[in-house]
Chain A
Amino acid sequence: MRVLFGFLSGLLFGLGLVVSGMANPAKVLSFLDLFGAWDPSLIFVMGGAVVVTFVGYRLVLKRSAPMFMSGFDLPGTRLIDARLVLGAMVFGIGWGIGGYCPGPALTALPLLAPGTLVFVPAMLVGIWGGVILRGSTLFTRNQKEATA
């Protein structure tokens, strides 16, 4: 059951990315190109997704537990630290170069564009590096550990 519903959730998420145009890096870069031929479509993607999630979370979180797990697991930390800001900055630069954030890159993998086929493995390497660095003492000394 978990696997089936995980698959269906992923399918729906991916359909949203394809339908909205986010799986097309050219469209994402046009959105980020405020000083060029700007395409504001992505505001509508974000807006639609945030409003539906805002309302849906309020309904779902009234339950005592989710359907297939013993409890809700929400990020509890409110820490705004160097990891959060540095990470977002590095991510933004990569997003601006390639036009892919993680979800669209994975979703577009079966389309087999050469750029996607090198982007995704590099992204996995980056994830390993980022996870290792965020747990290192460089950042976690004297700090409560963040989650997510």
Chain B
Amino acid sequence: MPLVATEFTPWSALAGGVLIGLSSVMLMLFFGRIAGIIGVVARAVSAVAVPAIDRNWRIAFIVGLFAAPLTVMAITGSPVEQTVSDNLPLMAFAGLLVGFGTALGFGCTSGHGVCGLARLSRRSMVSVAVFMGAAIATVYILRHATGVL
């Protein structure tokens, strides 16, 4: 990952967070389900089996995710700002760890981090503390201790 400094953007961050929260509340209101992306994906691709009635809306949810950056580009007329590492083997390894870890640990940043914390779940508090700690330690090791990234 090239070391790219980013600006502190509290207002857009807060606005985006509110949208994410509203979407989580909508999922509970419409479908009675936690807005955990990894759970949605696992059931959409049938890694976890569910009846079709409980799968189709999840596929539509993922299509909605895909539509989001395209919508933003259509409205603003400019590309979405993004810097992604070009180290493809490393990104593949990262993807493998993220998928494996979130499935094994029953949730990710959205399921444990947003919905779980909002439900004051002890389980989610433990999960968030562990994955935050592991991620911060990983970035420290890669950027400062070894300078790999």
Chain A residues proximal to chain B, CB less than 8 Å? 2-27, 29-30, 32-37, 39-54, 56-57, 59-61, 63, 65-69, 71-75, 77-80, 83-103, 105-111, 113-116, 118-131, 133-134, 146-148
* 10 closest Cβ pairs, A-B complex: A87-B105, A10-B64, A20-B16, A126-B99, A14-B68, A48-B17, A130-B103, A92-B134, A52-B21, A96-B138
Whose C-beta in chain A lies nearest to the C-beta of B133? A92
Whose C-beta in chain A lies nearest to the C-beta of B65? A14
Q: In the complex, what distance in Å separates the CA atom of A109 from the CA atom of B81? A: 13
Instruction: Report yes or no: B20 in contact with A16, Cβ–Cβ below 8 A.
Output: yes
Instruction: Report yes or no: B12 in contact with A21, Cβ–Cβ below 8 A.
Output: yes
Partner of A127, one of B10, B42, B61, B119: B42
Shortest Cβ distance from residue B66 to the other chain A in the assembled complex, whole angstroms: 5
Q: In the complex, what distance in Å separates the CA atom of A58 from the CA atom of B1? A: 40
What 0/1 pattern do residues 111 to 149 of B give for CB contact below 8 A with A?
111111111011100111011111111111011100000
- A39-B5, A123-B96 given; 16 more Cβ-contact pairs under 8 Å: A2-B31, A3-B59, A16-B19, A19-B19, A26-B84, A45-B20, A50-B21, A74-B34, A84-B105, A84-B126, A84-B127, A89-B131, A95-B135, A106-B41, A106-B65, A118-B95
Contact A129 B5, CB 8 Å, known A6-B31, A84-B126: no
Instruction: Report yes or no: B97 in contact with A93, Cβ–Cβ below 8 A.
Output: yes
29 residue pairs A–B, Cβ–Cβ below 8 Å: A3-B56, A6-B30, A13-B23, A14-B64, A25-B1, A29-B139, A32-B138, A39-B5, A49-B24, A79-B123, A83-B105, A83-B106, A88-B128, A89-B131, A90-B134, A91-B108, A92-B135, A94-B95, A97-B94, A101-B102, A102-B37, A108-B82, A115-B84, A115-B85, A115-B88, A118-B92, A122-B92, A122-B95, A123-B95
Instruction: Report yes or no: A24 in contact with B81, Cβ–Cβ below 8 A.
Output: yes
Q: For chain A, what secondary structure do more than half of its interface residues adopt (helix, strand, loop), or is it mixed?
A: helix
Shortest Cβ distance from residue B140 to the other chain A in the assembled complex, whole angstroms: 6
Q: In the complex, what distance in Å separates the CA atom of A75 from the CA atom of B34? A: 8
- A4 contacts which chain B residues (CB < 8 A)? 60
Contact A97 B17, CB 8 Å, known A10-B61, A39-B6, A90-B104: no
Whose C-beta in chain B lies nearest to the C-beta of A98? B94
Q: In the complex, what distance in Å separates the CA atom of A57 from the CA atom of B140? A: 36
Whose C-beta in chain B lies nearest to the C-beta of A74? B34
Instruction: Report yes or no: B28 in contact with A13, Cβ–Cβ below 8 A.
Output: no
Shortest Cβ distance from residue B6 to the other chain A in the assembled complex, whole angstroms: 4
Q: In the complex, what distance in Å separates the CA atom of A68 from the CA atom of B31? A: 6
